[in-house]
Structure 1
Amino acid sequence: MTRPAIVLLSREPGMRALVQRALRRRYEQDYQVRVHGDVASLRETLGQLRADETPVALLMVGYGEEEPDGLSVLESLEVDRTALRVTVVRWGDWSAARPIFDAIGMGLVDRWITVPELETDEEFHRTVSEFLDDAASRRGTSFEAVRLVGHRWDGRTQHLRDLFDRNHIPTGFYDAATPDGRAVLLGAGVQDPTFPVVLLHFRRDATVLQNPTDIQIADAFGLFEPFGEEEEFDLTIVGAGPAGLGAAVYAASEGLRTIVLETEAVGGQAGTSSLIRNYLGFPSGISGSRLAFRAYEQAWTFGARFHFMRAATGLARSGDHLSVRLSDHSSVRSAAVIVATGAAYRRLGVPELETLTGRGVFYGATVSEAPAMRGQQVYVAGGGNSAGQAAVHLARYAEHVTILVRRPTLAETMSEYLIKEIDAAPNITVRPRTEVVGGTGTEFVESLRLRDVGTGAEEEVPGVLFVLIGAEPRSHWLGDDVAKDRRGYVLTGDAAPHEPGLPTPALLETSVPGVFAAGDVRHGSVKRVASAVGEGALAVSLVQPHLGWLRARR
């Protein structure tokens, strides 16, 4: 297997010597470390690596007083978009900070790092290791804990690819129609399979599942931790998106017996985001799936229990106890419930495109599909942050990405840092006041029909479509006892009606005492990851007095 390359350019001898020494000592066994002191020889090396089909993991270029054009040089160098472009600076060169941050904000540079001043500078190596991990994720090269064999555009196969990716499970996908796919099946001893086939490569018994349900997969992974019919928890959290995970961490750390129910993957909609750059504590950004997985591990460490692949189907009260019914006909009993089920992307409602879902028409960011977009014309319908993040990520692979929005601009619905990055991207354009009204295709989408909202003029364009528009709260399972607004968002606090004689619901409490709501499912919530996490934590602080009130009644 060809070793990826780490390529360094520094025209300052001192900087070049220090960085070269650190890179060669620690990484040369697994990576080709190429070091240059001039731009011309660097361009030759990049051309040779491209000709040899050797991937570049990191392209590192010095920047500072002796290399004032470092940023412009880095921006001008041609490398595959899966490579991370890193600017290298001396510690204490504060004048370099603002130009670097501006370049990162516009997507012209990916990361920055300071020169290692010590022979064993572990801060430098921790940062480089994170960069290399990100680059490996972009290339799709990693350990395969699971092997998935199926038909490329089959809906069920696509669902499983997305499910594994969002749950941070290293997965290798093999098209059943290719020699590699047939070889994997042959090696597993599978004949006349029912697709998709899931091979749990990490298990000694090499478990093989044919066209499994989500529940069968969870059981095979050991993710299903059974609980007794009479077992009761202090708190049930429904949903493991940012709000649910935030609540789980704080509830479990406070010693509450906590169970989290999640029907798909940790992270919710945020878990599909390729890079969240405005979350506290991650100056270079972090992918939604990584952020969610870290929160999941944190809650798990504190003792929270997770119950995957079972959907909540109903909520009932019996005395002081609340019961959440699940899709496998079991129930979870607890003293309090936090509803953190979030919202789903709204469907387009275009019949000819609905039949092509998963075959060129995708709902959500579906990060796992991005590498398949190489050379494609891609359209992203939506004007929110999720749509912007998806467009930036897809632009690393697609020939061109067009963002379609019904509004005149993105300013009302998208964060400024994303707008700047989109404006600076050479292969992203924005088409305002445009909607998707039709399309053609049989096995795969062939064309999309776009309409100008103002004039009504229509045109047909070839391309693949990702839809991230609107939101529909996942609140249907709650029934009528939990009050909602006309769009289905859960009412809380003063907005929630309450029974005569009972106190007004607490800030995040619903019309049912002991049932709280947090995150996107709640009426009036701010649709941002940080605010959802905060609401989850706040909800736990409101659960505590409710539990105290219940104890006082007994």
Structure 2
Amino acid sequence: MSGTEPGSGPGTALVVVARDEGLRTATVCELERRYGTDYRVVSGTDPGEVEALLHDAGDPPVAALLGALGEADPDGLDVLRTCHAGHPGAMAVALIRWGDFDTARPIFEAITVGQLDRWVYAPQHRADEEFHRSVTEVLDEWSSRQGGGFEAVRIVGDRWDPHAGHLRDQLTRNRIPTGFYEAGSPEGRAVLEDLGLTQPRLPVVVVRFRPERTVLQAPTDLEIAEAFGLFDPLDPDAVHDVAIVGAGPAGLGASVYAASEGLDTFHLECEAVGGQAGTSSLIRNYLGFPTGVSGSRLAFSAYQQAWAFGTRFSFMRTAASLTTEDGLHRLILNDGCTVRARTVVVATGAAWRRIGVPELESFTGRGVFYGAAVSEAPAMGGRHVFVVGGGNSAGQAAVYLSRHAERVTLLVRRASLTETMSEYLIRELVALPRVDIRYRKQVVGGSGSDVLERVVLRDLDTGAETEEPGMVFVMIGSEPRTDWLAGTLARDRWGFLLTGSALTADDAAPAWPLDRPPALLETSTPGVFAAGDVRQGSVKRVASAVGEGALAVTLVHAHLASLAAIR
């Protein structure tokens, strides 16, 4: 079975290329049986045969290329790369027999340098659900890259309006299916006409998933939350066991463990779940995800897990201040509401540090972006993009943007990436043809009319400056989100919260009020803990943040037990 007759399926193709006839036949049969209604399955023994069949079928878009690697296909990765060159938007997937362990090293190497997206084991029997789970994950990833499909929310606005960009970023990070329409495009005008809007205040947001279709004009975050049904009134008399502020990895880790262990858990998040990690297009070094996981998917799964255990979430509200009286903590929110809890976990994380170039500030959201690579990447087609930063977040953004932009340049102040970026990510960046890395370079200026059009770069060794066309994504470190705690909790000079032994150090201000020593993650207010990037001395890794969140819950239990003993 080396081919599929033209016209035998719908418009998008799944391609299998393998000389191993048994493996190819079994794979094609399973794909056709499970996916034949929605996809056209095309198979061949080499790239030439596959391309001829696709041409005869009208050159449909290809969702996935499954290329065999094994005894009959020793050059399978080269064959797959040849096929992928003609269909760069497809997922490149190695197809192997179970137990063929000799293929592991070349597959891992190909994934590391960005030449392969995933691998799957060929089906072992009819209705091999393990095989289909892997294929479904591949198709889900391909679909998310393409956009389109179901639109729970529609936004009509100007592409480079910062408000519209903020909304796109928030909805994308919260994994809400969103369609964006340029207000001046035929499609955008058609949406506005259908809504009966002639001179709307942009951006217009249409909430389509609720029984009553809600249309908002230039909405605030609070109005969005209310339209989504997320802005439930808070009970001013409720006293929670723990209130968690911030839903990044640390906060979500705390939420899952607190709720699963029976604590009355309240969780406040002012933006989107995931924090900075939620903006990462692919996290490859998180435990348990051998082919990687997007930050938004990881965060949203954790949110669902905490919600299922009973955590009560409140979105789009911001903590404005924290007070403590008689051992009871009160969070005063930006809308005037108050949340009371016996313990608090502060996991507000950090915000991207601003680039510090005055003439670029006016272009924020219009060619200068802070951490919004996933939501803004589709608009970078045909453009030169500069990514500023030398950490993993900058590297992951460069990889993701290279799927859309014509060229991506990573600008690094240091002379090397070895001390700031994971080795696997450096190797992937070096191997990507659309990415180049420039060391000892800094952005010092820029210009444009409505959007940023040109960027001024300075060589930090020679002082020479050059000007090049392009847009900028900035990921140059972070600043803790602790301004709302100034004067309440002890902080270091950079604003990070002091915890544990740092509160009793010789050079620390008299910040700890009790005779007992503070717990490891306890702040200067007993019963208030800090976890993740907001804490001085934290390790800037997702896994460590989740671990700190879990540890904070252990300390919460101990504090609650001490309160019970006093009573």
Deviation readout 1:136-183 (Å, 9 max, x if unpaired) = 001113310011111111110110011100011000001110110111
Select 1:539's aligned residue among 514, 529, 552: 552
5 Å matches for 1:419-430?
A: 419-430=426-437
Q: Are the structure 2 counterparts of residues 143 and 499 from structure 1 closer, same or farther at C-alpha, using a change threshold of 3 Å?
A: same
Counterpart secondary structure, 2:419: coil
Give the Å deviation of 1:46: 5.5
Residue 198 of structure 1 aligns to a residue whose secondary structure is strand
SS, match of residue 17 in structure 1? helix
CA 1:2–1:176: 2 relative to 1, 3 Å? farther
Aligned pairs (5 A) from 1:237-386: 237-386=244-393
Q: Which amino acid in the other structure matches residue 438 of structure 2?
A: R
| Aligned positions of 1:60-139 closer than 5 A | 60-77=66-83, 78-139=85-146
CA distance in 1, matches of 2:345, 2:56: 56
1: distance between equivalents of 2:249 and 2:309? 17
**In the alignment, is the contact (CA less than 8 A) between 2:322 and 2:332 conserved in 1?**
yes
Partners of 1:29 and 1:141 lie apart in 2 by 19
Query: What corresponds to 1:5 in structure 2?
Result: 13
- CA distance in structure 2 between the aligned counterparts of 1:210 and 1:474, rounded to whole angstroms: 29
Is it true that 1:212 corresponds to 2:219 in the alignment? Answer: yes
- 2:3 aligns with none
What is the CA RMSD across the aligned residues, in angstroms? 1.4
* Counterpart for residue 550 of structure 1: 563
* Preserved CA contact (<8 Å) 1:491 1:511: yes
Could you say what secondary structure the match of 2:151 adopts?
coil
- Partner SS, residue 387 of structure 2: strand
**1:471-497 residue CA offsets vs partner (Å, 9 max, x unmatched):** 100011112231111111111000014
Deviations 1:342-398 (A, max 9, x none): 011110111111111111111113311111111111110000000000000000111
Shift of 1:117: 1.3
Match of 1:505 in 2: 518
1:441 aligns with 2:454: no
Measured in 2, the distance between the counterparts of 1:163 and 1:503 equals: 43
Equivalent of residue 32 in structure 1, options 40, 54, 65: 40
Q: Who is 1:59 aligned against? A: 65
User: Shift of residue 42 of structure 1?
Assistant: 1.9
Q: Which amino acid aligns with 2:42?
A: R
Deviation (angstroms), 1:45:
4.5
Q: TM-score if structure 2 supplies the norm length?
A: 0.95
Gaps of 5+ in 1: none
Question: Which deviates more, 166-175 or 31-40?
Answer: 31-40
Contact 1:402/1:429 (<8 A) preserved: yes
User: Relative to structure 2, which stretch is displaced further, 191-200 or 285-294?
Assistant: 191-200
Contact 1:7 1:60 in 2 (8 A): yes
Shift of 1:65: 0.7
Q: CA deviation at 1:55?
A: 2.2
Per-residue deviation at 1:202? 1.2
C-alpha contact 1:492 1:507 (8 A) present in aligned 2: yes
What code does the residue aligned with 1:198 have? V
Q: Matched residue of 1:65: which SS?
A: coil
| Contact kept? 1:215, 1:310, Cα under 8 Å | yes
Offset of residue 318 of structure 1: 1.3
Distance 2:230 2:373 in 1: 23
After superposition, give the CA deviation of every residue in 1:513-536 in whole Å (9 maximum; x if it has no partner): 011000001000000100000000
* Partner deviation per Cα, 1:194-236 (whole Å, 9 max, x = no partner): 1111111112221111111101111111112322111110101
Runs of 5+ unmatched residues, structure 2: 1-8, 505-510
- Secondary structure of the equivalent of 2:444? strand
Against the structure 1 CA distance between its residues 505 and 46, is the aligned structure 2 distance closer, same or farther, given a 3 Å change threshold? farther
Match of 2:161 among 154, 174, 178: 154
Match runs of 1:158-173 below 5 Å: 158-173=165-180
- Secondary structure, aligned partner of 2:266: strand
Residue 510 of structure 1 and its aligned partner are, at CA, apart by 0.6
**Structure 1 residue 3: Cα displacement:** 2.6
- Which residue of the partner structure matches residue 226 of structure 1? 233
1 CA distance for matches of 2:515 and 2:243?
23
Verify the 8 A CA contact 2:10 2:40 in the aligned structure 1. no
Distance in structure 1 (CA, Å) of the matches to 2:248 and 2:96:
37
Q: Alpha-carbon deviation of 1:21? A: 0.2
* Distance verdict in 2 for CA 1:451–1:48, change over 3 Å: farther
Distance 1:382 1:253 in 2: 38
- 3-state DSSP class of the match of 1:205? coil
Deviation at 1:501, TM superposition (A): 4.1
Q: 1:79–1:261: structure 2 CA closer, same or farther, 3 Å change rule?
A: farther
Task: Work out the CA distance in 2 between the residues paired with 1:352 and 1:213.
Answer: 27
CA distance in 2 between partners of 1:363 and 1:255 (Å):
38
Amino acid at match of 1:221: F
Structure 1 residue 500: deviation in Å?
A: 4.8
CA shift digits 1:256-307 (9 cap, x unpaired)? 1111110000000000100001011111101000000000000000000111
**Offset of residue 80 of structure 1:** 4.1
2:539 is matched with which residue: 526, 529, 546? 526
SS in 1 for 2:555: helix
Deviation of 1:48 after TM superposition, in Å, equals: 6.8
TM-score between both structures, scaled by the size of structure 1: 0.97
Partner of residue 17, structure 1: 25
Displacement of 1:127:
0.9
Secondary structure in structure 1 of the residue aligned to 2:308: helix
Residue 494 to residue 33, structure 1, CA distance change in 2 (3 Å): same
CA shift, 1:28, in A, is: 1.3
> Do 2:47 and 2:82's aligned partners in 1 also have CA atoms closer than 8 Å?
no
Query: Structure 1 CA distance, aligned partners of 2:10 and 2:147?
Result: 15
CA offset digits 1:8-40 (Å, max 9, x no partner): 101111111000100111111111111112221
